[in-house]
Amino acid sequence: MFVLICASALLFGSCNNTKYLKKEESLLKKNSIKFEANLNVEKRQNLIYELKNVTKQKPNSKFLGIFGTRLWIYNRTNSKDSLKKFNSWLNRKVAEKPTIYSPKTAEKTAESMQFYLNNKGFFDAKVGYKADTKKQKTVVTYTVKPNRSLLIDSVNFDVDYPDLLTILNKNNSETLLKPGDPVDNTLFDQEKSRISKLFRNKGYAYFYPNYVKFLSYDSTAYKADVTTSILPSEDGGDHEIYQVGDVYIYPGFLPTADDANLDTLDMGGGYFFISKGGKLGIKTKPILNAIFLEKGTTYSQDAYDATNKKLGNLGIYKFVSIRYNKNRLKKNELTFHIFLTPIKKQELGYSFEVYTDNINALGTGVNLNYRNRNFFKGAEVFLISVENGLEFALTREEDDTGVDRIFNSIDLSGRADIYFPKFIVPFKLSRNMRNNSPKTRLSLNVDYTKRRNYYTNTLFSASYGYDWQVGKHVRHVLNPASINFLVINEIEQNFQNILDSNIYLANGFVDQFFLGGNYTFVYTGPTFRNGNSWFFKGNVDVAGNTTYLFDQIIRPNVNFEAFGNKVDYSQYARFDADLRYYNNLGRRSTFASRVTASTGFAFGNSKELGTIPYVKQYSVGGTSSVRAWKLRELGPGSYYQNQDTVRQAYQAGDFRLEGSIEYRFDIFSALEGALFIDAGNVWTLREDEDRPGSKLSKDFLKQIAVGFGYGLRFDFSYFVIRLDLAYKLRSPYIDPESGFDRKAFESLRFRDATFNLAVGYPF
C-alpha cells in the first residue's frame, strides 16, 4: 500500500488540473448536501444517499479519493503534439474529460432534488445551491430544507365493484399503505402493482395497475386520508374473471420458420403440441410437468409466472414466450400459446485459471467441457469436464529428475454429471414441489494429484443428490448418497520422514473409504435500495454411519473391502458456515466482508485416529484466504514449522476460523483497486504432541494471524484477473524468548510481501 500511494503521489501529486481551462471555466471539485431538518440519523443518511444519485453533474473520479489520475492522463494526452498511438489509446480508454462546472446544470439538479423530495412526501421541500469557486475549482453546496412530510392518516376504499371490494377487504392486512407512513409515490406505485397482481391471481387476467387510482384529502395537520378507487375496464364495463382454456405448445419454435406442414398432437386435458412434421425433439412429460396452467381452472398470475420460470429452468430453451387471447367461441375463456425456442443442444467450452501456490510457484489450470442438453430427450443436461492443473517451479536439486525438474505438482481430474429436471424418488411428492425447479443430479469424478517430493494420491467419487430453489433467495442441495475412495499411490521418502514423526498427520494419509451424505443451505439476501446485500452458506457433511452398520451388523468380524482392497473406512462429521456482506459505498466503491467458521471431528471407527481424512481437513492461507501466508503454511494454532526445512507447506487442522474485510474501488475503466485485511487460523481438536500449540484452547484469539495488503483487479467482463500483495501484520507463532509474537509488521518492502495471482474475486 505504501509503495502504491507513494508512486501515485510522485506521479500525480504535483499535477495542475486547471492549467488547460479557459479563464471563465472551473472544475467541479465537489458536490455536498447540507440538510436543514430534524430527521433521525438513518432517514437523513438514506435521503442524502438518494439525493446524491439525483445530481446531474458529478466531479471527476479520484484514485483512492485523492489523486485525479484519469483527469491528469487526459490533460497529458490531449495536447496537440501528443499524437503517439499509446497516448491516443490512453485518451480514449483510460482518460476522463474534465467536469467543467455549469450553473445551469446545478440549477437543474436543485430542481430535480426538490421534485424527488415531493415524490417522497415532502411537498413543502425547498432546495437551493451555492457555488464557491477558488483557483478555478468549484464546490457546489446544495441546501435541502425538506420541511414536514405529508403522512398517511387512514386508508379507505371507494370501489363500485362488489366482488373486487370483497377481495380488497379480505387482503387488507397486506396493504403497503400504513398510517404514519409518508405519502410516497414509489410506495403508491408498489401498492398499485400489489393490487393488480392480487386481482389477476383471482382470475382478472386483464386487470392492470393503471386501473387503480388513489385520492388523498389533506388536513391541516400534514395528514392525509387516502382513498383507493378502481376505474372501469377498457370497454367501460365491469372487470371480468377468465378461465384457462386450451394450451398450445410449440417446442421447436423458430421466429423465422414458416407455418407450413405443422402437425398437432392432442395430449388430452386441453394440451396440444404443435410441431413441424410431427417431430417434437423432446418427450412431452417434462414440458407438461412445467406447465401450471390447467384447463377449466381460474386464471392465476402466479400459475402463469411459475410456468414461465419452470420452462426457462429446464435449461434447453433460449426463449420462452407465453401469450394468451380471448376465445371467440367461449365467453370468459383464454387460449394460451407457449412458444419455446431451443438453445443449441451440444456445446464445447473451456476455461482457464492462473494462480500462485504456497511456494510462489506459478500455477495454471485448463478445463475442457462438453455439454449436451436434452440428452435422453427428456430435458436432461449431460456434462463432461476434463481439467488439468500444473504448477511450474524449476529446480536444480539432484534428486529431481524428468518432469520433477519442471513441475511442482500435477492435478488431473475428470468429471461426468447428468441433471434430470425433476425429483427422482421412490415415493410420490406434492404437486407444489414442481414450482421449486427441482433437479436430480448423478455425478462421477476421479482426481489424480502428484506433489513433487511429497505424495501421489487418487480420489474416486460418486454422488447422487437433489438441488432445488425455494423462492428467490433460498437454495437447497442434498446429496443423500456420496461415496469417496482415497488411494495413496505413493509417498516420497522425504514426506514419509515427516509422517513418521507426526502420528496425527500420518493418520490422515492412509487409504480410506467414506460413504455418507451432505446437505448445503444457501441464502442469497435481497439487494437493498442502497445496493447493499448479504449471502450465507451452510454445509453439513456426515460419513461412515451406513458403512458402519453394514460392516458391524450384516458382515460382523469381516474386514471391510473396497475395490478388492482392505481399507479403513472413515466416520466423521463436518460443519461449515460462510457469511458475507457487501456494503455499497457509491457508484465506484464497495466494502466487502466475510466470516467463515468450520469444524470437523472423527467418531466411531475413526475415533482412535483422532482426526478426519487429510483431504477433508481445513487449511488457511493462499490466494483466497489469509493472503499474507502461503497455502497451508499457517498453523495449526501457534505451532510454527521452519519453512526452510520443507519445500511445500502441508499444515491443516480440524477447526477453522477466518474473516476478511476488503475495500474495492474503481481506478478507471476495467481496472479496479482493493485494500484488505485478513485474519484467521486453523486448530486441531485433540492434542498433537508433535505440533505443540496446535490444539484449540481458550487462548485461541491470541493465535489469530492477521495480514493486510493491497491489490489490483483487471475486469475483462467474462473473468477477473487479481493481483494481491499482502504483508504479515501479526503472527501467532510461539517465540521461545518473548512468547506469542504479536509485533507489528517490520517492513513494507516489495520483496517482503506475499504475492498472490488468481482469477476471480476472493469472495
How do residues 231-285 score in pLDDT, each as one tens digit? 999 888 899 999 999 999 999 888 877 777 788 999 999 999 998 877 788 889 9
pLDDT (0 to 100) of residue 69 = 75
For residues 552 and 754, which has the higher predicted lDDT (pLDDT)? 754
**What is the pLDDT of the chain when averaged over all its residues?**
83
For residues 77 and 275, which has the higher predicted lDDT (pLDDT)? 275
pLDDT per residue over 487-529, tens digit each?
Answer: 888 888 888 888 888 777 787 788 888 888 999 999 998 887 6
Comparing 196-205, 219-228, 331-340, the range with the smallest average pLDDT is 219-228
Round to whole Å and give the CA distance between 186 and 177: 11
Q: Which helix (H) or strand (E) segment is 356 a member of? A: strand 346-356
pLDDT (0 to 100) of residue 645 = 55
Q: Span 445-454, mean pLDDT?
A: 87
Domains (ranges, CATH) in the chain?
Answer: 2-145 (3.10.20.310), 151-230 (3.10.20.310), 243-342 (3.10.20.310), 353-451 (no CATH)
Q: Is the pLDDT of residue 555 over 90?
A: no
Round to whole Å and give the CA distance between 437 and 295: 22
pTM of the model: 0.76
Nearest to 547 by CA among 574, 579, 524, 515: 515
Q: Which three cell numbers stand for residue 357?
A: 501456490
Q: Is the pLDDT of residue 4 over 50?
A: no
Instruction: Give the three-state DSSP class for 652.
Output: coil
How many CB atoms are located within 10 Å of the residue 503 CB? 14
Cis preceding-peptide flag for 636 (omega within 30 of 0): yes
Write 612-616 long-range contacts (CB < 8 A, 24+).
612/508, 612/570, 612/572, 612/574, 612/654, 613/486, 613/508, 613/512, 613/514, 613/570, 613/572, 614/505, 614/508, 614/509, 614/652, 615/457, 615/459, 615/486, 615/508, 616/541, 616/570, 616/572, 616/574
Sign of CA dihedral 635, 636, 637, 640: negative
3-state helix, strand, coil in the chain (%, to 5): 20, 40, 40
Q: Which helix (H) or strand (E) segment is 324 a member of? A: strand 317-326
pLDDT (0 to 100) of residue 537 = 96
Q: Span 72-97, mean pLDDT?
A: 72
For residues 509 and 592, which has the higher predicted lDDT (pLDDT)? 592
CB 599 within 8 A of CB 685: yes
Interaxial angle between packed helices 41-52 and 103-119, expressed in degrees from 0 to 180 and rounded to the nearest 10: 130
